[in-house]
Structure 1
Amino acid sequence: MKQGIYTITENIALTKDVWSMVLSGDTSAMTAPGQFIEITLPGFFLRRPISVCDYDENSITIIYKVVGRGTDAMTKLKAGDALDILTGLGNGFDPSKAGDTPLLVGGGVGVPPLYHLAKKLLAAGKKVNVILGFNKADEIFYAEEFNALGANVTVTTVDGSVGVKGFVTNALPENISFVYTCGPMPMLKALYKATGETSGEYSLEERMGCGFGACMGCSIMTREGAKRVCKDGPIFQKEVLTWQI
């Protein structure tokens, strides 16, 4: 974990409620896809945890959804504004577990943490299938970006307006070697059941107070006892989950 001052270089809308922000600064604490950052916003007491979509030597890209006063305030920030941020939080996905034909499944704002992972897996020569689930056409984002990487991308929409009609579980391919996923809890539970004995890593969402394990506010129960989503997660091996969360 590292604290620093980061400068916004871009803050744009991808859909009506989903925005992309690029931050310039020290990224040395970022060590794995699936980690998150915590942002201090002027006028707000608690930091905002946001998953990282992509990063390189000099910048971090986050994608966030407007769900309250804090994220709405983020949309008002401009290029050149500076923010106090904690980076390198959480564990992250382990690309070494992928096997030859990994499946990446993202639902809504669970899509972003999978992007940098897809980059790494494709660079390692893996055959990557990606399923992106949304409610309707005007909520879709980053499908083209995953396609541009070279992944095999399937989009599902609940109303059938684009791609496969239904849920991500309606579009599962055959021969899945490992599952990486992030999204709403009902989606994760359905995917857990639908993929049977296939192992995987699941990124969980939970309300966080501190973001680094001090307050215990994001604790969940697993087969290995109580775990903190911010410190012990947000990525958990499929086999340890009990779904009592």
Structure 2
Amino acid sequence: MNTMDNILIIKTNELVAKDTYKLVLKGDIKEIKNPGQFANLSLNNPEFYLRRPLSISDYNKDELVFYYKTFGEGTKYLSTFKKDDTIDVLYPLGNGFTIKKENEHQLLIGGGVGVPPLYNLAKELIKNHIKPKVILGFNTKDEIFLEKEFRALGLEVVITTMDGSDGFKGNVVDYIKENDLDKLYYYACGPKKMLDALVKTSEFGQLSFESRMGCGFGACMGCTCKTKTSKKRICKEGPVLDGSEVVVDE
């Protein structure tokens, strides 16, 4: 896999849910190999020196699709970019998900801004004759995004919200436990707290971790995490790790 540093053109950068934007860039996708890889975006502003890592949600022909939440000043600044603006993007980075064809019944589990990389994964699973059940968790109804897109793929989608404003009241792990789904193979992405709770319930899956990063390609060691076997870099050996090697924060 070759990593490319390209100046890409913004096709759209629009608000799709509370504090959540969909960013579509025109670019070369030939080096993207697996769902779950990510890109590092430069904001071309001395106030925001470090690049912003964003999971690749989808790609087709000459477009890359991302979703991001305006957590801090950097992503708020990114939300001001307009159509036809250019942006410096380093991609594809990291190791993505590995499709497990031997498991017929599978789950896609996403929490908040961890939902995006699961969309392209869903399309790849369908190509391999696997129709996963999709469980998406949000804090409240206003934050829900990508639900319609998953349903358009013909998949069963369950929404959970912490305040009960839509779907199941509680988080994704609560839903899994209450519906006896903890024996199914899963692919998950979301906040560390969610992933830890999921691993405590079942190690039978793959988890994509979010982390602050310096370089994005393993040189600075800034995103190193401890696993049961060794220390691994989220940007290089990750962001996807097997559930059996994840060390849970107590």
Q: Same fold (TM over 0.5)?
A: yes
- Identical positions, percent: 45
- Aligned to 2:210, the other structure's residue is in SS state coil
Structure 1 match to 2:231: 226
What is the aligned counterpart of 2:124 among 101, 120, 131?
120
1:148 aligned to 2:152? yes
Distance 2:121 2:165 in 1: 28
Deviation at 1:174, TM superposition (A): 4.6
Structure 2 match to 1:94: 98
Deviation at 1:95, TM superposition (A): 1.3
Distance 2:206 2:94 in 1: 14
Deviation at 1:46, TM superposition (A): 1.2
Contact 1:131–1:155 (Cα < 8 Å) also in 2: yes
Distance 2:94 2:107 in 1: 22
Structure 1 match to 2:81: 77
Deviation at 1:188, TM superposition (A): 0.8
What is the aligned counterpart of 1:192 among 196, 199, 205?
199
1:129 aligned to 2:139? no
Deviation at 1:47, TM superposition (A): 0.9
Distance 2:102 2:33 in 1: 17
1:59 aligned to 2:63? yes
Distance 1:151 1:56 in 2: 20
Deviations 1:149-197 (A, max 9, x none): 11110000111111011111222255654110000111111111223xx
Q: How many residues align?
A: 243
Deviation at 1:85, TM superposition (A): 0.6
Q: Quick one: which amino acid aligns to residue 226 of structure 2?
A: M
Within 5 Å, which residues of 2 pair with 1:195-206?
A: 195=202, 199-206=204-211
Contact 2:44–2:88 (Cα < 8 Å) also in 1: no
What is the aligned counterpart of 2:188 among 181, 192, 199?
181
- Aligned to 1:159, the other structure's residue is in SS state coil
What is the aligned counterpart of 1:212 among 212, 217, 223?
217
Gaps of 5+ in 1: none
Q: TM-score, normalised by structure 2?
A: 0.93
- Aligned to 1:95, the other structure's residue is in SS state coil
Contact 1:27–1:87 (Cα < 8 Å) also in 2: no
Q: Quick one: which amino acid aligns to residue 67 of structure 1?
A: F
Structure 2 match to 1:37: 39
Distance 1:29 1:86 in 2: 12
Q: TM-score, normalised by structure 1?
A: 0.95
In the superposition, relative to structure 1, how do residues 81 and 98 fare at CA in structure 2: closer, same or farther (>3 Å)?
Answer: farther
Gaps of 5+ in 2: none
What is the aligned counterpart of 2:20 among 18, 21, 29?
18
Contact 1:122–1:151 (Cα < 8 Å) also in 2: no
- Aligned to 2:129, the other structure's residue is in SS state coil
Q: Which runs of 4+ in 1 moved over 4 A?
A: 173-176
